[in-house]
Amino acid sequence: MTDEHQISVFDAIASRRSVRSFEDVPVEDAKINLCVEAARLAPSWANKQCWHFVVVRGKQAVAELGLTPAHIKNAQVLVIACGDPDKSGNIDGKQYYLVDVAIAVEHLVLAAWEQGLGTVWVGAFKEERVRKALGIPENIKVVALIPMGYPAGKEGIRAKLLKKVVGSANRKDVKEIVHWEKW
Ligand SMILES: Cc1cc2nc3c(=O)[nH]c(=O)nc-3n(C[C@H](O)[C@H](O)[C@H](O)COP(=O)(O)O)c2cc1C
Predicted local distance difference test score (pLDDT) of residue 159: 80
Q: Helix crossing, 29-40 with 96-114: angle to 10°?
A: 140
Which atom of ligand 1 approaches the CA of 69 most closely? 9
Predicted local distance difference test score (pLDDT) of residue 168: 85
Beta-carbon-side half-sphere exposure of residue 178 (alpha carbons within 13 Å): 6
126 φ, ψ (degrees, to nearest 5): -90, 110
Spatial separation of the C-alpha atoms in residues 91 and 99, rounded to whole Å: 12
Q: Ligand 1 in contact with 14 (CB < 6 A)?
A: no
Predicted local distance difference test score (pLDDT) of residue 150: 97
pLDDT in tens, the chain (183 residues): 445 567 899 999 999 999 999 999 999 999 999 999 999 999 999 999 999 999 999 999 999 999 988 778 889 999 999 999 999 999 999 999 999 999 999 999 999 999 999 999 999 999 999 999 999 999 999 999 999 999 998 877 778 888 888 888 899 999 999 999 999
Cβ atoms 78, 62 nearer than 8 A: yes
Number of H helices, E strands in the chain: 8, 6
How many other β-carbons are positioned within 10 Å of the β-carbon of residue 27?
23
Q: Ligand 1 in contact with 125 (CB < 6 A)?
A: no
* DSSP structural state of residue 122: B
- Whole-number Å distance, alpha carbon 19 to ligand 1 midpoint, is 10
Predicted local distance difference test score (pLDDT) of residue 2: 45
pTM of the predicted model as reported, rounded to 2 decimal places: 0.94
Any idea where the domains of the chain sit in the sequence?
Answer: 22-151
Most ligand 1 atoms within 8 A of CB, residue of 78, 99, 121 to mutate: 121
* DSSP structural state of residue 46: G
Nearest to 62 by CA among 49, 51, 47, 77: 77
Spatial separation of the C-alpha atoms in residues 125 and 14, rounded to whole Å: 27
**How is domain 22-151 classified at the CATH fold level?**
NADH Oxidase (3.40.109)
Task: Output the residue whose Cα is nearest ligand 1's atom 17.
Answer: 166
Most ligand 1 atoms within 8 A of CB, residue of 122, 142, 161 to mutate: 122
Tell me the one-letter amino acid at 103.
I
Predicted local distance difference test score (pLDDT) of residue 147: 97
Which atom of ligand 1 approaches the CA of 124 most closely? 8
29, 38, 121, 142 from 124: Cα distances, Å: 27, 24, 9, 11
